[in-house]
Structure formats: structure tokens, C-alpha cells
Structure 1
Amino acid sequence: MESLYYTNAINLFYKFGPQRMAQIRKRIPEPQHIWEADKQTLIQTGVPEKVIDEFIAFRPTINIKKEWEKLDNLGVRMVTHKDDEYPELLKELYSPPIALYVRGTIPNESFPKLAIVGSRKVSTYGKQTTPDIAAQLAQTGIIIVSGLALGIDGLAHQAAVENNTPTIAVLGCSIDDASIYPRANYQLAHNIIKTDGAIISEYPLGTAPLKQHFPARNRIISGMSLGVLVIEATQQSGSLLTSRHALDQNREVFAIPGSIYNESSIGTNNLIKMGAHLVNNAQDIIDVLDLKTSPLFADDGPVTPDTYEESLLLPLLSKEPIHVDILVSTSTLDMAAVSATLTLMEMKGKVRNLGGMMYVRSK
């Protein structure tokens, strides 16, 4: 346990990142010895003298046990390379995290993990495809890894939660309640924990979501996954950086094709052009990764109408989004009846509301 105290304390010194710590630990393997080392010993690690001087000045400002108590009080655990819970695939990285701060439970290695990333500004197409694909994956026991961001990330996590499947959110900041980012996904983060998933980060308590943290966060998302699925990305999207990490880490890259007229599909279409696996459904991913899973699409039978109003609307609904106004004009029902029927059908899981008064069939 004392080793964890010192690891946490060292993590608080932000100039000792993963690469520098790997360099230090070649000479000084134990965290306690790093914390207590004199200047001459630390200089032998090859770390610049200026940084060593800053570290030596930093140490007296930290009460190691009190810093650990802060984690305990906030329900945050620390997982290191020595722990079974530390993802095996992460250990393969050139600069794996020194430790992971965890709330919830990281699913064990018997559960395959797939990263899903994409644009924060999600289109109607993205709102349709992300829950569909993510739900299909979750239903087979595949663990979805993403970054809790607005847009595609949040939709992917939400689909897993709704299917009672664990999912892992990797944050670019600390994971205590006061720091969870973005705040709009605060409740989603708690729902992830409640469904036996985890929110994790390599950053200690008090770390803000700074811009430079997110590329490092992305390497963890791809690094702990068998592959990365990109669902919508502009030409400059940060999710493309995650796909580049995946290639560097020898992971598979998948992409969902989109309209050539949609800016949010430029990145994914280019990925496919460069050799990423084109994905139409979850089975495409399962086949490439050669995963042994239960059949994806169990036949639940046809969706049948329960009321006269449903019998008029169901034939008009498909996987292509349709506007409420069109349903009104083609169904002979008035707006009030269409809206009420769609609401009931959504509650039954027959249709999904994409926003903007657009609907699709769920099955």
C-alpha cells in the first residue's frame, strides 16, 4: 500500500509524465526510492537538473498520507501495472500510464474492448448510427471505451448503459465529482459507474481538463482497446488522432461511411480510403476482430402495431429518418395524434427520436 502512496505523490509532480517516469524507473524501480532519492541519484537517471531541483523543492510541500486520504474520501482508487485490473493491452504502449485513477470497475480481460470516437457536433446521421452500432456491440458483451465527450462519445456510452453493459470512460482530467468534464455528462458518468463500468484517468486529483491532456487521453482510449471505430469526423477532428494512435499501437481501425456532402463524414470517408475497415453493422467489427460472441441479431419477430394509430405510422417508419410533418401529411392523423403515438412507441422501444422532430424505427 505504501508504494501506492508514493506513486500518487509522484504523480502530483506534473513534470514527471509517463515517458520521464519510464526513464527514471530504469534506474530507480521503486516509487518510495524515487521520492526519497537525493539529487545525485536522480541526476543519474538522465532527467534535466532543473526539473530535478523543482522535484526536490516540491516534495516537502506534499503530505503523502493526506493526499492518499483525499482519494479514499472521494471513492477514487489507484491501479498500477502490478494490479490485475490494469489493462494488459495498455502495458504494450511505449509510454503507458504510471497508474490509473479509477471509479467503478474496469471489466476484466475476458471482455473484449472496442473504442468508439467521433465528432462532438453530431449530425442526425450520427445520432442514428451511434446508438444502433453501440447497442449491437454492447448486446454481445463487447466493452465500449470512449472519452465521455459530448456527441459521439456520450451517445456510445449511453447505449451501453441502456443495455446494462459496462463501459469505460477515459477522462482528460481528474475523476472526482468536482472535476468531471464535460459537466453536461456528469450524470452519465455516474450511470456508467452504476452499471459496473468505470471512469478512469491518468491524472491526479485537481487536474483541470487542459487542451494538451486530450491527445494523451486518446492514446489510452485506443491503447486499451482491440480497435477503434470512428463514427463521424471532420478533416481536423481529434478523433482522427485516436485512430492514428491505434495504427501506431497495431490496433484495427474501423469507420462508418457517410455522405460526401456532409463535413462530418470527410474524416471517416478518408479513413476508409486509406484502408480502415468499412462498417455497416457490429458484425463487420466482430468478424475482423475474430471475436467469439453470441449471435448478434436474434430475431425478436416483426414489430407489430398495438393500436390503430400505430398501424398507420409503422409502415411509414424505417431506418431512414423521417420528419413528423411528413408522417402527419401521409398518415391521415393530425399532429396531436402523431406526436402522442410516437411518444408511446418510443417508450415501447419501437422508434427512436433523433431530435429535430426526426424519427426512425428502433428495429
Structure 2
Amino acid sequence: MDEKIYYQALARFDKIGPLRLRTLLKTFSTAKQIWEASAQDLVRAGLDENVAAEFAAWRHDQNLEKQREELDREGIEVVTWNDTQYPALLKEIHDPPHTLFIRGKLPQNPYTLAVVGTRMVTPYGRQIVEQIVAPLARAGLTIVSGLALGVDALAHEATLRERGTTIAVLGGGCDKASIYPTSNRGLAERLIEQEGALVSEYPPATLAVPYHFPHRNRIISGLSRGTLVIEAAEDSGSLITANHSLEQNREVFVVPGDINRPTSVGPNNLLKMGAHPVLAADDVLDALNLQDLKATLEAKSILPDNPMEEKILAHLIGDPIHIDELIKATQMNTAEVSSALTLMEMKGKVRHIGGQNYVLAR
């Protein structure tokens, strides 16, 4: 059998993680040899005696051929840390997963940015995703996030609207039935259709249980040159990702928040610790020394197609603005503004964020 089938089988036994596997590979040259070794030989190679006995008993019930069929049926590719397509940035971290289960096409773009934040996103957070993440995706960054509700999903959505590529790192299996949250299964499929990927270190049919997510977060940061935090409470899991990023010697970017808002506590604390403040997409590109991408972004700035659009764009600079305020500011009538906004949204110039409030879409 292919060596990969043994790696993916080992990934199904959660007590042999990347660090233990490295230890075993000092004695055994292949995953196949580890799979076939006796409990005694595994102990001699450095595995705990109880773990070795448990593994030997568990292994007896595993059907590798059925596992292969399951992977093929779900369209899941197995990539091990021995493969050339294994992400180079991820391989650099202390404990990279020895096996990745991938559905879709893993982008080979070296310019990657993790975007994380609260599930309880505010209108401010929604605006920031449009104002900062969308331009970064349009400039050519691959956006990495976790498919969660809130900032994660908004970051994936913004990237897809910009025809960019995005990677979702999951806390469970990447097979269709295991996608979590279930409300984002449609988003997951659209992400794949647009040459993005679902990535997990967990095999198919693995439930996304709470204790998986902190461990999963090291992969989100590990795949990325930096992590951007948009809204996070003091105890948010997003801060775990930011800490992983620091430990991995990657950049941490933070959008400052209102000091009276609970979802600003995490980002503002990171700023006090020395994270990069981000007020515009250019701040990320400059910090990552990506001037070429910055030039691409500048070349794609929004230009009006007619005098009405010019008037409206002049007032869509900062915070979301209500259509009634636009009508007053532009001195245009209701029908003109409403019609122009509809056409501008179809062109991808503005975005309606609810309650008749509009922001720039780029």
C-alpha cells in the first residue's frame, strides 16, 4: 500500500501526534513500519507502554482499504509532511501535523494571511472585514480562517466576492457530513468551487468537539505569514491563534476597537503587547514587505462611472452611512440614490450591510 495510507491511519489514533511520530521515526524509517511494529518494538522506540498496548489493540480493528474508499468517495486528498505539496510555512512550526486531510485545491500562493475574530461580530467588525480583508484578498493574499460564525465566515465570504482564494482550517473532519457549523456548509462548498480548500488534521467523520479548536488554531497561524485579529473578547479563541502566531515567529496584526466594547478588549490588549496596529489594508502589506501587491491594490481602486457615483463615493469614506444621510449629503433625490446604490452594489463598488447602511466594498 501507498505510504500515505499508513500516515492517514496513524492520524486516526490521537495519542500518536506529530511529536511522538517524530520520535518513532528515529527508529522506524516509514509509517508502514510503525503501523506493523509490535507493541514491544514501539516501546523500545520510545512510545509509552500503555499507549503502545492501546495502539496495538486499536490497530487490529482498522480496515485500511475501507478508509481509502472513504477518502476517495469524499474527494479528500491526503498530504503528509513528506510531500512536496505540504505547505512550507506550516512545516516550519514546532508541531506541524504529520498528515493533512484536504478537500479542494490547496493554494500554492506564498502570500497568506490568517483572519480571526469573534463569532458575535458587530456592525463595526463587518465594516472592517469589507474595508481591510476584502482589499487584501483582491490584492492577491490568500485568506486563511476557521469557517466559524462571525468574523471567520465574513472573511471567507469577502474573499470569495473578490474572486480570491481562501483556506478554511477545521476542528473536525472535512467530509461533507462533518462540516461545522452546519450553517456554513454551503460556504464551504463555494470555497472549494473557487479553488480554495478545506484543511484538517482530523480524519473524515470526526466531530468538531470543543477541545479540537485551540489545537486547530496553530494550523491557521502556521499556514500564514501573519494573523489579523478583528474583534475578540478577552477570553476569545482568536487570541489563542494570535499567541500561536507569536510563538511561530509570525506577525500579529490588530484592528483597534472601541475601548468600551467587550469585543475590543482582546485586540486592544494585543496592541499593548506590541502587535501591529492596522488602520488600512496597506498597513498589512507594508509590514509583510509586499509592495508589489500594494501596487496591485492601488491599481484596483474604486473609480466612479458617472457624476452620481462620484457624489456618493465622496461620502463613503469611513463609517457605514445610512441611505437617508447619503440623500441629504449628496442633495440627490431618493430614487436617484437608491438606483445608483443598487447599480454600484452590482458592480462591486459598495456593499449593503443591513438596515439601509452602506460601506465601500473594496
Q: If the length of structure 1 is used for normalisation, what is the TM-score?
A: 0.91
Preserved contact between residue 140 and residue 293 of structure 1 (Cα < 8 Å):
no
| 1:315 Cα offset (Å) | 5.5
Matching residue of 2:288: 289
Amino acid at match of 2:274: G
1:55-94 equivalent positions in 2, closer than 5 A:
55-94=55-94
Gaps of 5+ in 2: none
Partners of 2:20 and 2:131 in 1: CA distance: 42
Matching residue of 1:107: 107
Matching residue of 1:168: 167
Q: Secondary structure at the match of 2:115?
A: strand
1:292-311 equivalent positions in 2, closer than 5 A:
292-294=291-293, 295=295, 296-298=297-299, 300=301, 302-305=303-306
Matching residue of 1:260: 259
Matching residue of 1:139: 138
Amino acid at match of 2:26: K
Partners of 1:69 and 1:321 in 2: CA distance: 50
| 1:332 Cα offset (Å) | 7.3
1:11-90 equivalent positions in 2, closer than 5 A:
11-90=11-90
| 1:288 Cα offset (Å) | 1.3
Query: Aligned pair 1:243/2:226, yes or no?
Result: no
| 1:319 Cα offset (Å) | 2.8
Matching residue of 1:358: 357
Q: Secondary structure at the match of 1:185?
A: helix
Partners of 1:83 and 1:259 in 2: CA distance: 45
Amino acid at match of 2:51: V
Partners of 2:322 and 2:234 in 1: CA distance: 29
| 1:93 Cα offset (Å) | 1.7
Partners of 2:302 and 2:314 in 1: CA distance: 16
**Residues 177, 50 of structure 1: alpha-carbon distance in 2 compared, 3 angstrom cutoff:** same
1:175-190 equivalent positions in 2, closer than 5 A:
175-190=174-189
Preserved contact between residue 256 and residue 278 of structure 1 (Cα < 8 Å):
yes
Q: If the length of structure 2 is used for normalisation, what is the TM-score?
A: 0.92
Matching residue of 1:159: 158
Partners of 2:157 and 2:199 in 1: CA distance: 17
1:218-268 Cα shifts (integer Å, max 9, x gaps): 000111111111111111111011010011110111111121122211211
Matching residue of 1:223: 222
Partners of 1:65 and 1:36 in 2: CA distance: 15
**Residues 198, 118 of structure 1: alpha-carbon distance in 2 compared, 3 angstrom cutoff:** same
1:255-311 Cα shifts (integer Å, max 9, x gaps): 11121122211211111111001111222111111125241222656425576xx68
Partners of 1:140 and 1:300 in 2: CA distance: 11
Partners of 1:318 and 1:282 in 2: CA distance: 14
1:55-109 Cα shifts (integer Å, max 9, x gaps): 111112111111111101110000011211101111122211011001112122x
1:164-221 Cα shifts (integer Å, max 9, x gaps): 2211111110001101111121111111111111111000111100111111110001
Please report the RMSD computed on the Cα atoms of aligned residues, expressed in angstroms.
2.2
Gaps of 5+ in 1: none
Partners of 2:42 and 2:300 in 1: CA distance: 63
Moved more, 38-47 or 344-353: 344-353
| 1:30 Cα offset (Å) | 1.1
Preserved contact between residue 10 and residue 35 of structure 2 (Cα < 8 Å):
yes
**Residues 279, 53 of structure 1: alpha-carbon distance in 2 compared, 3 angstrom cutoff:** same
| 1:48 Cα offset (Å) | 2.3
1:120-154 Cα shifts (integer Å, max 9, x gaps): 11111111111221222122221111111111111
Matching residue of 1:10: 10
Preserved contact between residue 111 and residue 141 of structure 1 (Cα < 8 Å):
no
| 1:349 Cα offset (Å) | 2.5
Amino acid at match of 1:259: D
**Residues 281, 9 of structure 1: alpha-carbon distance in 2 compared, 3 angstrom cutoff:** same
Preserved contact between residue 8 and residue 68 of structure 1 (Cα < 8 Å):
no
Preserved contact between residue 151 and residue 230 of structure 2 (Cα < 8 Å):
yes
Moved more, 160-169 or 324-333: 324-333
Partners of 2:357 and 2:322 in 1: CA distance: 5
Matching residue of 2:199: 200
Preserved contact between residue 147 and residue 169 of structure 2 (Cα < 8 Å):
yes
Partners of 1:200 and 1:75 in 2: CA distance: 12
Q: Secondary structure at the match of 2:60?
A: helix
**Residues 338, 286 of structure 1: alpha-carbon distance in 2 compared, 3 angstrom cutoff:** closer
Query: Aligned pair 1:346/2:345, yes or no?
Result: yes
Matching residue of 2:276: 277
Preserved contact between residue 327 and residue 337 of structure 2 (Cα < 8 Å):
yes
Query: Aligned pair 1:117/2:116, yes or no?
Result: yes
**Residues 288, 24 of structure 1: alpha-carbon distance in 2 compared, 3 angstrom cutoff:** same
Aligned length: 359
Partners of 2:301 and 2:90 in 1: CA distance: 38
Partners of 1:361 and 1:55 in 2: CA distance: 55
**Residues 361, 7 of structure 1: alpha-carbon distance in 2 compared, 3 angstrom cutoff:** closer
Amino acid at match of 1:282: A
